[in-house]
Amino acid sequence: MNQEARGQSSGARDPGPTESPSPDLPPPASGFADLHLHSSFSDGTYSPEELVSHAARHGLAAIALTDHDTVEGCERAGLACKAAGLEFISGTELTAEQNGNELHILGYFVDIRNSRLLSDLAEFQAVRHKRIHEMVARLNELNVPLEAEAVFALANCRSPGRPHVARALVNAGVCGSMDEAFDRFLKKNRPAWAPKMKISAQVAIDLIHRAGGLAVMAHPGLNRSDHEIPGLVKAGLDGIECFHTKHSSSTSEHYLQLAAQFHLLVTGGSDCHGLSKGKPLIGTVKLPYENVARLKARVASRGSRTPPAVGGD
């Protein structure tokens, strides 16, 4: 996992895979991918184009953009990848719950124009706005003068979240750092925290599937919800994020074993938020490209098996 992927466009290329789903960009037969990235369309600080240029500098062969509750950045990221000779996978990250446990579900290869996906994401974004208003109201009750509009202006996206409130508190001079803002006000059960409405894991998985995507359990090592995996598999889960910045090598190994046991696809990514959480993480988790090829094969086989939707969904 620590070998740099280089020279993808330097000429010498293997005969390559026989199944090439993209006519204009033959996928590389090797290299590495980072399939968990956030842009300024949610709580990352890099634009999609900046993410892609970092990805190219790290020699990545493929990336996915997985902004929270939005696919808005995917078109721009896709164009930038095309220009840079990288493969792009559209994605999003949904917050869900199963039996009271919070889970993040990544959706890969979703159709970013799917009307049901877009309308549901718009609903999730409205819930996010409402939550910002609630947290700001709680801050105001604590005599912290902050306006929701200041948070929205700073977020400048449709998926504002707690990191944006934290940044607004730092900008207003209330807190010295984002960590302090979370510790004093915004962490769960701190005085300005407001609960987040979550959809069930089943709803998240169905939404991703209806948009033609694959549903993957994000950073399972952070959620300590291994006991939920059989239920998620029954609900249609396709894969599990074995490699993540916060997974130790033994944690990754553990989830690789679970992936094999439950016949789940393996993914991995850095969960880079740009500069908002210290140094940018993009490229620090390198998923071998063969895993991307397996994801693509699954999407392709599902596409040919799924009967056409009747009467809309």
- To the nearest whole angstrom, how small is the minimum distance from the Cβ of residue 144 to Zn ion? 27
Q: 104 vs 164, which CB is nearer to Zn ion?
A: 104
CB 259 within 8 A of CB 54: no
Closer residue to Zn ion in complex, CB, 139/238: 238
Candidates 81-89, 164-172, 184-192, 210-218; binding stretch for Zn ion (CB under 5 A): 210-218
Q: How far is the CB of 133 from Zn ion (least distance, A)?
A: 23
Q: Of 54, 104, 277, 296, which lies in the binding site for Zn ion, with binding defined by CB under 5 A?
A: 104
Cα separations in angstroms, 178 against 158, 171, 274: 21, 10, 14
Residue 57 near residue 146 (C-beta atoms within 8 A): no
Residue closer to Zn ion by CB (options 68, 296) is 68
Which residues contact residue 187 at a Cβ distance below 8 angstroms, ignoring those fewer than 6 apart? 193
Do the Cβ atoms of 115 and 217 come closer than 8 Å? no
- Does residue 198 bind Zn ion (CB under 5 A)? no
Q: Which pair of structure tokens corresponds to residue 112?
A: 């970013």
Rounded least distance, CB 93 to Zn ion, Å: 5
CB under 8 Å to 250, separation ≥6 — which residues?
none
Calpha distance 52→47 (Å, rounded): 9
The minimum distance between CB 83 and Zn ion, in angstroms, equals: 25
Minimum CB distance to Zn ion smaller for 8 or for 95:
95
| Number of residues this chain uses to bind Zn ion (CB under 5 A) | 4
- Mapping DSSP onto H, E and C, the string for 99-153 reads CCEEEEEEEECCCCCCHHHHHHHHHHHHHHHHHHHHHHHHHHHCCCCCCHHHHHH
**Residue number, 93 or 238, with CB nearest to Zn ion:** 93
| E strand or H helix at 267 | strand 265-269
- Contact pick of 216, 220, 271, 282 for Zn ion (by CB under 5 A): 271
Q: Which is nearer to Zn ion, 104 or 128 (CB)?
A: 104
By the criterion CB under 5 A, which residues form the site for Zn ion? Answer: 93, 104, 218, 271
